[in-house]
Amino acid sequence: MEFSASHPFYKHFEKIYGARWPKLFAALVTSEQQVARQNNLSPVVDLQTKKWSVLPQKPELPGCFWIPVGESCQPERNTDELLDVYIMDPASVMVARALNVQAGDRVLDMCAAPGGKSLVMIEALQEEGEIFCNDLSPERRERLKKVIQQYVPRSIRDRVWVTGKDGVQFGLKEPDSFDRILLDAPCSGERHILENKAAQDEWSPRRTEHLASRQYSLLSAALLAVRSGGRIVYSTCSISPTENDEVVRKLLKKKKEAVKLLEAPLGIGGERTEFGVAYLPDQCGFGPLYFAVIEKS
């Protein structure tokens, strides 16, 4: 891929990452590692009949089959007509599991589309509880609905609600209503920027700052909407500290005694930041993805 080292995007992150940046940049423009996560809502009795069953597994990420980079794995329908695996970034699985959803919880996935993390949480609810899968974009919401129909049995769909609110509204209209909230916030998504010439031309540090402001508003709303003792996982697919640790720092500074930062689980390939964990592709081959775990005091 042709990309000038004099481009403002390149120079901006070179200043942040220093000597690490060339390797990180090269990893961002290379195909990332993905996994086929087994759909546990549609049990497969004989795994040997499935093509994905021969893919390598790692004990650190149970239920996930690692797809060799450059190869593909197409989901297939089981006898119950549900799809057998969901293809996703390994870090996304770890982020969804970090929310530690329990049976019977009332859960909010504030920016849920396309739905891979929602599926992880729906499985964790087991036979009780409910989840609100929210996305403001009508187009993304339709994709989300389709994923739920393809992977979740009808008997469980009765406890899965797809909504289209601005996430800030949950804080204003449903305070202290949820046990667990995942905020996978809208972000710069630098990997996607590097795949899109128009996005590269539009990029500026000011856009990152604007997104960080929006992210903080959503995170503040999540804090209002979660119950006392409840948990929030804040995540982005950005490599910008402005959209990651700095958003969490602002929350800790402004909300003080109302917030407790929990230690984010350091999954396979993760590296600790000041407030959370980052998965960066030069280190682990997948991501980028950042997350922090917050408890409402």
Question: What is the set of active-site residues?
Answer: 237
CA triplet 60, 186, 256: central angle to 5 degrees?
80
Cα 207 → chain centroid: 21
Residue 99: which of 69, 127, 136, 129 has the closest Cα?
A: 129
Question: What is the rounded distance in angstroms from the CA atom of residue 88 to the CA atom of residue 184?
Answer: 14
* Residues 124/152, Cβ–Cβ less than 8 Å: no
Residues facing residue 85 across a β-bridge: 38
> Which residue, 45, 125, 44, is CA-closest to 84?
44
Report strand pairing: 64-67 vs 34-38.
antiparallel
Q: Read off φ and ψ for residue 61, nearest 5 degrees.
A: -135, 75
Q: Six-digit token pair at 63? A: 């239920």
Q: What is the DSSP string of 176-227?
A: T-EEEEEEE-----HHHHTT-HHHHHH--HHHHHHHHHHHHHHHHHHHHHEE
Q: Please report which residue ranges of the chain form alpha helices under DSSP H.
A: 8-17, 21-28, 90-98, 116-125, 138-151, 154-157, 168-173, 190-193, 197-202, 205-225, 245-255, 281-284
